[in-house]
């Protein structure tokens, strides 16, 4: 008796499936080094040049970005390196550089020994654990709630806001009272929710060893309760190649395929909950936020990292900063790239932020000595303008003595020393003139430095010009040493991400502070990390080890 078509198809399908499994095993590759915890001395690790990305290859001695690209390009042409010696055929390597790299690299996956890789979970395992675990509406953070199928970031934030105002939910049916949740959505999310108070949910950690959120306990808790492993398809050879399978995320990007691993990292990177407590006015008085941020060695290569751009742009937009003094700029073109991202966003999270005038400009000092100090400002409807000090003085006083202005300009130009650098820029903020001095201290100020700073403050006060010194002062002692100036941030304010990093950012203002500033100021500590930013041998580092600071200045109607 002949075989039925169905039995033929079944045998063929089983054979095809077995072949697929064998091919998958042959093509199986381990997780890249960058997603492992830092290896200890007891578990040495060699870099597999057949799976390493450009960024990972650049961590090898003597390997530049151009050389890393050549290695990847050569690997794509030949398929894989069979021996370490094959690396000598790459343009720019040669025998001499190969001997330098040989102790650090390998081609056999089984030679890679890592204590961290044994505890790394796949993304699929993580998603399965999230689906089977109920999320508590009474203890989960916004970041955890938005992982529930059917809830996006806005609805999750509404749930937390309602819970903060009304207290814990007594029944899941009470969610119908939350803004944006109807009976249809409620029936869909109830199977994934519970009322239990679980302390462990607020103590989960990011894969870089840091609690999700620097100080705000309400932001603690992470979507990633274990190490996040990059999904690798059998044909995937590059970190930047698109993922070859569809993926649906439960945090607002539903039914949208992830075209790049960077989109995946961005979706799982923590962003703080934005509370609408500032809408460009306080107590009925219009005001504007001035900020300062030591971005730490800002280069084009650093800004090319999408995680750095996302953190910088979203931090500026979420906190409604209007004028930002930037310190430690190595390449001024990096500032231009930040403004381009703000004006024409290419990153999903920046593009989705609706409160953006997309009218951002930058100020780069003409003097080469102070180009490490730049300004970014929002020029929406011409409210904020960058002008010269002479224009500000003439516009404010009309009958100002020209020699007094020239004297002030000369004093500001001569203010720099070996211990600190300054850059001065005048602004008209909603018609209110102010001179901002961008300061970056490298050492402790001496008596001569303090005397010259005091002379500048006195000269500005003599012609009734509003002046503020803002930036990185390194120590609180440098802040206290400036006479006739009062700091808008107190000594206890922490302005660094890492406690081991030395730094003290502040805003100093001479004269009557109450008449110009409204007393509101602070340090931004949340949302400064991103899973796409390298942190040694792991990922999830900060865009800068320094926190941005802000203060609010009153502006006329």
Residues 6+ apart with CB under 8 A from 263: 348
Which residue shows structure tokens 């003439």? 394
Q: 390-415 burial by CB neighbour count: b if 16+ within 10 A, else e?
A: eebbbebeeebeeebbeebbebbeeb
- CB of 385 closer than 8 Å to CB of 379: yes
How far is residue 84's CA from residue 69's CA, in Å, rounded to a whole number? 17
Bridge partners of 487, per DSSP, are 508
3-state DSSP: the chain helix, strand, coil percent, rounded to 5?
A: 40, 20, 45
Q: What is the DSSP string of 121-149?
A: BPHHHHHHHHHHSPEETTT--HHHHTTST
Kindly report the number of other CB atoms within 10 A of residue 41's CB atom: 5
Question: What's the mean per-residue pLDDT of the chain?
Answer: 75
- CB of 326 closer than 8 Å to CB of 548: no
- CB of 381 closer than 8 Å to CB of 358: no
- CB of 248 closer than 8 Å to CB of 255: yes
Bridge partners of 517, per DSSP, are 553
Which 8-state DSSP code applies to residue 466?
-
- CB of 395 closer than 8 Å to CB of 434: no
pLDDT tens digit string along 376-410? 999 877 678 777 776 666 665 544 555 677 788 88
Q: Which helix (H) or strand (E) holds 435?
A: strand 432-441
Tokens for 226, please give them: 């274990």
Which residue shows structure tokens 């107590």? 283
How far is residue 51's CA from residue 232's CA, in Å, rounded to a whole number? 10
Q: What is the DSSP string of 377-392?
A: EE-GGG-EEEE-HHHH
> Could you tell me the CA-to-CA distances from 239 to 50, 69, 265 in Å, in that order?
12, 12, 12
pLDDT value for 133: 67
Q: What is the pTM of this model?
A: 0.56
Return the SS3 of 103.
helix
How far is residue 290's CA from residue 532's CA, in Å, rounded to a whole number? 28
pLDDT tens digit string along 429-459? 877 888 899 999 989 998 888 888 888 888 8
**What is the separation of C-alpha 144 from the centre of its chain, rounded to a whole number of angstroms?**
20
> Could you tell me the CA-to-CA distances from 477 to 437, 439, 546 in Å, in that order?
19, 15, 18
Picking from 112, 99, 81, 495, the residue whose alpha carbon sits closest to that of residue 327 is: 495
Per-residue pLDDT of the chain (557 residues; tens, 9 = 90+): 444 444 444 444 444 444 444 444 444 433 343 333 343 333 346 888 988 888 888 888 889 888 988 898 888 777 788 888 888 888 888 888 888 888 889 987 544 444 333 333 333 444 444 445 688 899 888 767 877 888 887 888 889 889 988 889 989 999 999 988 988 888 888 888 998 765 433 333 333 333 333 333 332 333 232 233 333 333 333 333 333 333 333 333 333 334 457 777 787 888 888 777 788 888 888 889 999 999 999 999 999 999 999 999 999 999 999 999 999 999 999 999 999 999 999 998 999 898 898 999 999 988 888 889 999 999 877 678 777 776 666 665 544 555 677 788 888 888 888 889 999 998 888 778 888 999 999 899 988 888 888 888 888 888 778 889 999 999 999 898 887 788 888 888 889 988 778 889 999 888 766 678 888 899 999 999 998 898 877 788 999 999 999 999 988 76
pLDDT value for 302: 93
Picking from 542, 486, 552, the residue whose alpha carbon sits closest to that of residue 518 is: 552
The helix/strand count (H/E) of the chain reads as: 18, 19
Q: Which helix (H) or strand (E) holds 361?
A: strand 360-363
Structural domains of the chain ordered from first start:
47-106 (1.10.150.320), 135-194 (1.10.150.310), 282-554 (3.60.10.10)
Which 8-state DSSP code applies to residue 542?
B
CA torsion angle 263 268 270 272 (round to 10)? 80
> Could you tell me the CA-to-CA distances from 303 to 14, 35, 333, 528 in Å, in that order?
50, 21, 10, 14
Which residue shows structure tokens 């109830």? 190
Tokens for 371, please give them: 């180009």
How far is residue 472's CA from residue 459's CA, in Å, rounded to a whole number? 23
């Amino acid at each position: 008796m002949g075989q039925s078509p169905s039995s033929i198809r079944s045998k063929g399908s089983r054979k095809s499936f077995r072949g697929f499994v064998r091919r998958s095993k042959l093509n199986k590759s381990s997780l890249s080094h960058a997603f492992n915890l830092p290896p200890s001395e007891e578990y040495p690790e060699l870099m597999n040049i057949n799976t390493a990305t450009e960024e990972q290859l650049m961590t090898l001695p003597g390997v530049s970005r151009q050389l890393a690209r050549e290695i990847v390009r050569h690997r794509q042409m030949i398929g894989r390196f069979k021996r370490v010696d094959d690396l000598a055929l790459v343009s720019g390597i040669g025998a001499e550089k190969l001997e330098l790299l040989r102790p650090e690299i390998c081609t056999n996956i089984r030679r890679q020994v890592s204590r961290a890789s044994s505890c790394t979970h796949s993304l699929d395992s993580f998603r399965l654990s999230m689906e089977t675990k109920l999320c508590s509406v009474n203890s989960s953070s916004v970041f955890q709630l938005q992982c529930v199928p059917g809830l996006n970031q806005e609805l999750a934030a509404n749930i937390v806001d309602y819970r903060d105002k009304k207290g814990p939910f007594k029944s899941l049916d009470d969610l119908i009272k939350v803004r944006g949740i109807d009976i249809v959505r409620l029936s869909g999310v109830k199977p994934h929710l519970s009322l239990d108070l679980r302390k462990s949910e607020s103590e989960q950690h990011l894969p870089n060893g840091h609690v999700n959120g620097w100080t705000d306990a309400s932001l603690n808790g992470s979507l990633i309760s274990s190490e996040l492993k990059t999904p690798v398809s059998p044909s995937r050879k590059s970190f930047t190649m698109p993922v070859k399978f569809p993926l649906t995320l439960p945090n607002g990007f539903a039914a949208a395929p992830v075209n790049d691993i960077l989109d995946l990292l961005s979706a799982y990177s923590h962003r703080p909950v934005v509370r609408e407590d500032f809408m460009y006015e306080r107590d009925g008085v219009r005001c504007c936020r001035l900020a300062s941020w030591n971005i730490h060695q800002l280069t084009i290569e650093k800004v090319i990292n999408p995680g750095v751009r996302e953190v910088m742009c979203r931090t500026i937009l979420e906190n409604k900063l209007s004028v930002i003094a930037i310190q430690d700029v190595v390449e001024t073109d990096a500032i231009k790239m930040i403004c381009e991202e703000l004006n024409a966003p290419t990153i999903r999270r920046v593009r989705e932020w609706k409160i953006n005038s997309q009218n951002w400009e930058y100020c780069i000092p003409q003097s080469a000595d102070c180009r490490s100090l730049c300004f970014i400002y929002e020029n929406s409807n011409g409210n904020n303008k960058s002008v010269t000090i002479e224009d500000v003085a003439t516009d404010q006083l009309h009958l100002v003595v020209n020699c007094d202005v020239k004297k002030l300009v000369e004093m500001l130009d001569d203010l720099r020393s070996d211990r600190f650098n300054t850059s001065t820029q005048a602004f008209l903020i909603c018609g209110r003139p102010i001179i901002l001095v961008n300061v970056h201290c490298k050492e402790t100020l001496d008596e001569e430095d303090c005397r010259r700073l005091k002379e500048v403050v006195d000269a500005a006060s003599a012609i009734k010009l509003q002046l503020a010194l803002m930036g990185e002062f390194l120590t609180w002692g440098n802040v206290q040493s400036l006479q006739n100036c009062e700091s808008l941030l107190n000594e206890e304010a922490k302005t660094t991400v890492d406690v081991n990093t030395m730094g003290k950012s502040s805003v100093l203002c001479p004269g009557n502070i109450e008449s110009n500033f409204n007393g509101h100021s602070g340090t931004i500590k949340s949302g400064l990390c991103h899973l796409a930013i390298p942190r040694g041998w792991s990922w999830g580092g900060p865009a800068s080890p320094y926190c941005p600071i802000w203060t609010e200045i009153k502006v006329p109607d």
